[in-house]
Structure 1
């Protein structure tokens, strides 16, 4: 009896220990994880064992060791041999897991075993093991059992290499991170109006001419005199092989019939007008289309021949988006072609072209996928649809029997800003933060069980108009990619936002060791002050917050760096101006997540950063840009509205003020708006170059000042204006509008400073 009681006591102790131990900080969270008793101890002699001749296991083992080395993890040796105690074993088993990419991972005192039916499963197990071993800094890996499988078959990321290129080494680094996040599709955007990035040997002008553009401010202030480049076929083959060895399929995109400017610049005969045009340095929606005659279709088929030879992916992306039909409508030849085909509209003509090229891919064992505009006139039954204009395209396509991939804007667009902090770099607005990505559900509501089976998965899109270098890309992608990875991999019942946040600090530490320029926006302290009270008495209350709400905020008021012994923020803090506030967000384990500093004095209460202004009524469009499109600068950044050159300073403190000093920037107006150009607000100018007009109490209020803008040819890109007005009292909204011609440069606000009367 005593022995039985002892055994029961030990068993209950083991269960209690397991219950008290948290899950390891794994992202994405495994489908099933059960903690065991004890641990496996890593030693200098610990080996990673794979079966002789098992190429897939060898690749997974190599990937494991490479990624551990990148984050300064344990040093292990890869060997071929039979499974043995004291080792990490990676092996195939035909009986393991019915779902493609599934795996099991077991840890006990005798070793670690990763077992999978296929190569993808072994790679996914290796990716999990990278995190487990990295967390075992004391060499003790907790005993556990993981049975894991992906929720979706398409777990993707789209990289735009047209607007701004990335080097092969940088793309390899991104592929490694995708594999560590258990993503399996890299959608590679290779052709557009601003450049042709893929070598096509049959048509060398595509890269000799089409791969290069002249920036709008070429050679000025860090902007290159010529921008461009391309990926050779040798480079592409190497990247495809590199990705395949990590379980990732590269899906190329050749965009058509729109977004064709670079191709038509190289070969005008394949455009509608036949005229030579330049590669575009502009962002936005262009009107250049491919022709629909037989020579152009032959050209596109020849291009696809080489694309298919380079990319073994079953799926080839043919774009189909934003094809403005003006050129087709104006062309007698195109109209005659449309009539000969018995088509009633230009949309049907696009459907015919996409159908013909889709059939060409099918005849070669491939499958077309396109943006959701391809649904407008019907597409081949086997074609898949990528829904970017919200999720309705996915719903419509699934109901028609097409497979779908969700990549809606702005929900999964990683070029959206991650926060509204003034120090954020370039990007689109509205904000799509970490919590927004984590909350996304890839299966649209309203589909029945049969239609749901057509949802292949989802992907985030990284459009790079405003990401001129890889640091910008990394900042935009990480850690939002962690949130997306969990959405696409983990069963809904295992997803939990607070638990995800608790696992994220370990991942951020790995990013730091791998020198990845991730964003700390979700954890950055937001420092605000009751400015009205501060102006009235010099005393006020300070408020601190973070977007995610994770961890502990500590602060100092003397300019010193907060440390674990600094005061914990628990509510508004009384302060007396002047004061310098430094705040740090500490993770529950004590790691620093983010730091920010802000100083307040009487002068700062009269200043406003232009990025904190708000749009005037009428247009929600908002975009944060760098001074020049192809310069790699991070600062300064400016927020603009392309449709209404007007911003509001709400509740401006005008007591005793008699002037407003405005730092301004003149930016290239390199935006094609197509049919939306008519929505741009034009204000009548009274002088040659327009004015900055300042009104009080809204944009219909009385004019406080109107200051002429200087001659763009005679003044630098960054300049200042002084707007004087009669002495003011009280707080009022200030409306600041430009009357500059809409076909001229853009004007943007830097710092605005109200000035008191002498």
Structure 2
């Protein structure tokens, strides 16, 4: 009997659609090897998990599998004594046997074999981690997807093992803190995707998040900051919190149950402002700063005298008592040495140590702490700057400044975790769409994560062997809530997981897209607020052509070129019965188009809508207004307040220059341009990059908006004074007179000192009405 024949009777329930016609099971990450067979194993209400009662590892895995299925609405499975059925199929009920087997046919640890026939299934592995990974494959196959109840397993033999030993995700809890429940949800998804390291960033300039009982000021003072702006009743609104040691023990145990190691990070010698605010005697100047409310690079460093070193060692003692991880992350990144260079005491310390520069001093500090960790059976890992001053030979390096650090570290004999900016930084946005959330630019797409080469091409085999694996980093400056965090992580986590687990020869982008819809459906069922940017439908038209002809030629597309796009023109929501997009089409003006993408009956993305009329076709949204051409561009999508809990609105900011330019807009017959602006706090510390800021002298007290046509170096069409920040709302609009024929780009420049607020442009709207109050030409 073929799979197609066997599945035909239950197609209406959708229980084996993912397995029809001999395709591989819809697993992410894709298994190392799959042998597809005819048939399937029905999973009914009396299905059993058979485990020998004396096999404790298998019992633990079986219980987690049972709990996972129960939590997300999968089939109920009973854990029963399987000793009587070892080696033979059950005759009464379908069964899944789970057991350790020292001879399981896997290439390395963490691997498993899942053997499914019509009469039963057997999961074997050489170690408990392998059993757990196999159980997560079973969970993916059995969890429901929307209205589909997965009540069958495809007959197949899967022999599977990881490509890399380190498959990680870094969560930054220092800038914005996650609740214990939110971290548990992330760990659950990591487990389902066979990721095995949670790198937990717990201290930075903006907050100290771990309770250290010997130093209570770290959380009494260092865990709290006062952001720019005011709270209720005119009082500053503090932001902060910390994890108690009981919270941390819980997270570590919760992760361990899912075979995830939690690697803690305490940043040093830089990114230390929250700690220095708590204990200024361990800083360089002895002065107490505020806990920083600014993102970016702040100047505060730890001292390097013996009292400070004892302080750091005492902190590490409590950290090591909480985290059993072999690796302890000590940061080492972005430590600008201005305070060290300005300190006579530090210079004397360097002289006494025989060191000639501050980079060597950082290397000495890291070596001292690395030896301390080694004495306690631990191993130092740090960002790739630790290579610059010399570190212990057994220190591992996390390469983040592009990919050059991979070759440098491995050539020097260090093990490396690949985690480069921007390629595996999930704080970069997934698209440039108007409805994308806050984050850094440029865009890092789902495909760019999937296709990123973890081992650089051409790296010698001896050095490639030192690549431990890869991880994605989620810096949380722009992620105040779980919704922000989940949007950034998912589904790019799926791409990372497959890249790090699946053999390179088995990577297949199109096959990944075939399997992804089932996972997106599980996210919706589990209330994971994943980013749908990859499938979101762009509704594209030629503005000038549409206005000229009174009708628009419409092109529909999405980022990945996958899924069936369906659309409506009557205002209704698209369904699987709506018109299928099969090529460009023409609509009269005005028309509103709604579109979304489907895979079979699964909706892949929220509906996107675009109204096409005279006004909207003469309007440029903020996301379309780009940075003026320049050598140095550092863009981000920022919200009006640093801790805003909403996903919108978002404004695109260039940290170095206020100059921005619109796409060409049809100006014929238009008499004014209305510019919507938002005033945002300038809370990004640029340190040694501050000199890149383009200063534009203001003629009035609060600066001006200058409007130019096509070029940014010509005579202004209008100069519009900006309102007083102390007496005007943060959101406002300015209008400028306009008189031009044809289509033109508009260049907008904000003047003012580098310390002035950011001004985000929400939109530029051309109008037939004259400006109510124009600026000076």
TM-score (norm 2): 0.94
Structure 2 distance, partners of 1:113, 1:264, is 56
C-alpha spacing 1:334/1:241, structure 2 compared with 1 (3 Å) = same
SS in 2 for 1:598: strand
| 1:325-346, Cα deviation, whole Å (9 max, x unpaired) | 0000000000000111111101
SS in 2 for 1:701: coil
Structure 1 distance, partners of 2:179, 2:77, is 30
Residue 468 (structure 1) aligns with:
480
| 1:87-139, Cα deviation, whole Å (9 max, x unpaired) | 21111112223511010001112211110111100110010001122368363
Q: How far is 1:380 from its partner?
A: 0.5
Residue 97 (structure 2) aligns with:
89
Tell whether 2:115 aligns with 1:103: no
Q: How far is 1:557 from its partner?
A: 1.6
Q: How far is 1:590 from its partner?
A: 4.9
Residue 314 (structure 1) aligns with:
326
Residue 383 (structure 2) aligns with:
371
Residue 121 (structure 2) aligns with:
112
SS in 2 for 1:368: strand
Residue 344 (structure 1) aligns with:
356
Q: How far is 1:220 from its partner?
A: 6.0
The aligned runs of 1:669-680 (5 Å cut-off) are 669-680=682-693
Structure 2 distance, partners of 1:705, 1:591, is 47
Tell whether 2:72 aligns with 1:68: no
Q: How far is 1:537 from its partner?
A: 2.4
SS in 2 for 1:308: helix
Tell whether 2:659 aligns with 1:651: no
Tell whether 2:405 aligns with 1:393: yes
Structure 2 distance, partners of 1:668, 1:350, is 33
| 1:504-542, Cα deviation, whole Å (9 max, x unpaired) | 010011111111001111111100111111111211201
Tell whether 2:82 aligns with 1:77: no
SS in 1 for 2:662: strand
Residue 711 (structure 1) aligns with:
724
What RMSD, in angstroms, separates the aligned Cα atoms of the two structures?
2.0
Structure 1 distance, partners of 2:126, 2:227, is 51
Give the alignment partner of residue 332 of structure 1, picking from 333, 339, 344. 344
Residue 125 (structure 1) aligns with:
134
Structure 2 distance, partners of 1:730, 1:474, is 44
SS in 1 for 2:124: strand
Structure 2 distance, partners of 1:239, 1:534, is 56
SS in 1 for 2:458: coil
C-alpha contact (below 8 Å) 2:332/2:382 kept by paired residues: yes
Structure 2 distance, partners of 1:148, 1:481, is 19
Tell whether 2:46 aligns with 1:45: yes
Question: Unaligned 5+ residue runs, structure 2?
Answer: 7-15, 771-777
Q: How far is 1:371 from its partner?
A: 0.4
C-alpha spacing 1:278/1:570, structure 2 compared with 1 (3 Å) = same
C-alpha spacing 1:10/1:439, structure 2 compared with 1 (3 Å) = closer
Give the alignment partner of residue 195 of structure 1, picking from 189, 192, 207. 207
Q: How far is 1:64 from its partner?
A: 1.1
Structure 1 distance, partners of 2:599, 2:163, is 29
SS in 2 for 1:605: helix
C-alpha spacing 1:581/1:156, structure 2 compared with 1 (3 Å) = same
Structure 2 distance, partners of 1:163, 1:223, is 21
Q: How far is 1:223 from its partner?
A: 11
Q: How far is 1:319 from its partner?
A: 0.3
Structure 2 distance, partners of 1:594, 1:495, is 28
C-alpha spacing 1:454/1:89, structure 2 compared with 1 (3 Å) = same
Residue 502 (structure 1) aligns with:
514
C-alpha contact (below 8 Å) 1:195/1:211 kept by paired residues: yes
Tell whether 2:452 aligns with 1:440: yes
Structure 2 distance, partners of 1:220, 1:454, is 53
Q: How far is 1:548 from its partner?
A: 0.7
| 1:304-353, Cα deviation, whole Å (9 max, x unpaired) | 11111110000000000000000000000000001111111011110110
Tell whether 2:29 aligns with 1:28: yes
| 1:31-86, Cα deviation, whole Å (9 max, x unpaired) | 01111222212121112122214332222112212221232111112234425323
Structure 2 distance, partners of 1:51, 1:142, is 25
The aligned runs of 1:144-543 (5 Å cut-off) are 144-219=156-231, 225-543=237-555
Q: How far is 1:19 from its partner?
A: 10
C-alpha spacing 1:497/1:224, structure 2 compared with 1 (3 Å) = farther
Structure 1 distance, partners of 2:755, 2:464, is 47
| 1:607-637, Cα deviation, whole Å (9 max, x unpaired) | 1111210001213221001110012121111
Structure 2 distance, partners of 1:605, 1:37, is 55
C-alpha spacing 1:220/1:702, structure 2 compared with 1 (3 Å) = farther
Tell me whether 193-202 or 126-135 shows the greater mean CA deviation. 126-135
SS in 2 for 1:703: coil
TM-score (norm 1): 0.96
Structure 1 distance, partners of 2:649, 2:577, is 35
C-alpha contact (below 8 Å) 2:520/2:604 kept by paired residues: no
C-alpha contact (below 8 Å) 1:249/1:313 kept by paired residues: yes
C-alpha contact (below 8 Å) 1:524/1:546 kept by paired residues: yes
C-alpha spacing 1:236/1:655, structure 2 compared with 1 (3 Å) = same
